[in-house]
Amino acid sequence: MNKICTKCGFELNIDMFTKLKRNKDGLSHQCKKCDKEYRIKNKDVIKGYKEKCKESIKEYRVKNKEATSIYKKQYSIDNRQKISKRMKIYRQVKKKELAIYAKEYRDNHKEELVETARKWREKNKSNIAINSKKYQKENKIKLNIVYQKRRSRKKQLPATLTETQWINIKQHFNDSCAYCGKKIVLEQEHVIPLSKGGEYTNNNIIPACKSCNCSKGNKTYEEWYSKYKYYSKKREKILLDYLGYDKGNQQLKII
């Protein structure tokens, strides 16, 4: 499909014309080449016109603050997906520039940002408390893992257990306590206690109910389990096989 340029008079493919919604065919009357030449020749005029337009828009917004605000809000609601998609593309293209700008802004406005955050927390205390409780309730396992890793790292011990590994450990023990066999709320129990160098790893953590975990405390597995009221030779074999113990020695590498 072709179109004739009103400036140079040549019949050109429509790809050579800039899109312009206000025209009937949705294209500019002049081809891109003629349009570019015009812009170069009239650079100062166009610049002055743009500045004039900016000033008039600014004046209009100041005079019609409420109407502008209402329009902006309504536009955002009506075009939420479109804006979101556009912003996503923009952030991907300008990723490095935005990261540099954000860092510079934080460095230059530290006190302001701290004060703004403090005021926001004061204003939203009740919402923060509700959301915090909700998050803790929904992310118990994740938060417990973070807490346990912090404890281990303070003692300079390996801490590599993941949420997926913990789920697999529980499944291996049929979602029941490794010591008494009860199917109740399970805790992460260190076979070798943390106080005695027990690592927070896949090969030192087993599921245990609160009662068994508290009963064992800081005792070693060997000195405690054989005397425990819920002791079971069958469960002991499953536990030791899982941990890779053979004749009192752990054969598996701690990871």
Question: CATH no. for residue 202?
Answer: 1.10.30
In the chain (255 residues long), the average pLDDT of successive 10-residue segments reads 90 90 89 91 90 90 91 92 93 94 94 94 92 90 90 91 93 94 93 91 92 92 90 90 69 42
Alpha helices for the chain (secondary structure H):
32-41, 43-63, 65-78, 80-93, 95-108, 110-123, 125-138, 140-154, 163-172, 210-216, 221-225, 233-243
Predicted pLDDT of residue 108? 94
Is the residue at 116 inside a domain? no
| CB-facing half-sphere around the CA of 226: CA atoms within 13 A | 3
163 contacts: CB under 8 Å, gap ≥ 6: 141, 142, 145
* Token code pair at residue 44: 């100062």
Determine which helix (DSSP H) or strand (DSSP E) holds 14, and give its type and residue range: none
Is the residue at 29 inside a domain? yes
Is the residue at 83 inside a domain? no
Predicted pLDDT of residue 156? 92
Distance, in Å, from the CA atom of 153 to the CA atom of 160, rounded to the nearest integer, reads 10
* Token code pair at residue 41: 């020749």
68 contacts: CB under 8 Å, gap ≥ 6: 60, 61
Q: What is the pTM of this model?
A: 0.54
194 near 152, Cβ under 8 Å?
yes
Q: Which residues pair with 188 in a beta bridge?
A: 207
Is the residue at 166 inside a domain? yes
Predicted pLDDT of residue 222? 85
Predicted pLDDT of residue 250? 53
Please state, as a whole number, how many other Cβ atoms lie within 10 Å of the Cβ of residue 243.
Answer: 19
Distance, in Å, from the CA atom of 232 to the CA atom of 118, rounded to the nearest integer, reads 55
46 near 39, Cβ under 8 Å?
yes
Predicted pLDDT of residue 140? 87
Identify the three-state secondary structure at position 186. strand
* Token code pair at residue 74: 């309504």
Total count of domains within the chain: 2
Predicted pLDDT of residue 181? 93
Predicted pLDDT of residue 110? 93
- What residue numbers bound the domain in which 33 lies? 2-41
Distance, in Å, from the CA atom of 129 to the CA atom of 18, rounded to the nearest integer, reads 54
Predicted pLDDT of residue 240? 87
Distance, in Å, from the CA atom of 178 to the CA atom of 184, rounded to the nearest integer, reads 11
Is the residue at 18 inside a domain? yes
